Amino acid sequence: MSGIANPYRYQYETVAASQTAQVLGGTGAVGDYLHRIIITTSAAATSTVTLIDGATSIPLHAAGGAGALGAESLEMNMASVSGSWKITTGAGCTVIAAGIFSA
CATH architecture of 11-100: Sandwich (2.60)
User: Along the 103 residues of the chain, how does pLDDT read in single tens digits?
Assistant: 344 556 668 999 999 999 999 999 999 999 999 999 999 999 988 899 999 998 899 999 988 766 678 999 999 999 999 999 999 999 999 999 999 999 8
Let me know: does 100 contact 33? Beta carbons within 8 Å. Answer: yes
What pLDDT, on a 0 to 100 scale, did the predictor assign at position 2? 44
The whole-angstrom separation of Cα 64 and Cα 77 is 26
* Cα end-to-end span (Å), the chain: 28
Most distant CA pair in the chain, distance: 50
The whole-angstrom separation of Cα 28 and Cα 21 is 12
What pLDDT, on a 0 to 100 scale, did the predictor assign at position 1? 39
SS3 of the chain? CCCCCCCCCCEEEEECCCCCCEECCCCCCCCCEEEEEEEEECCHHHCCEEEEECCEEEEEECCCCCCCCEEEEEEEEEECCCCCEEEEECCCEEEEEEEECCC
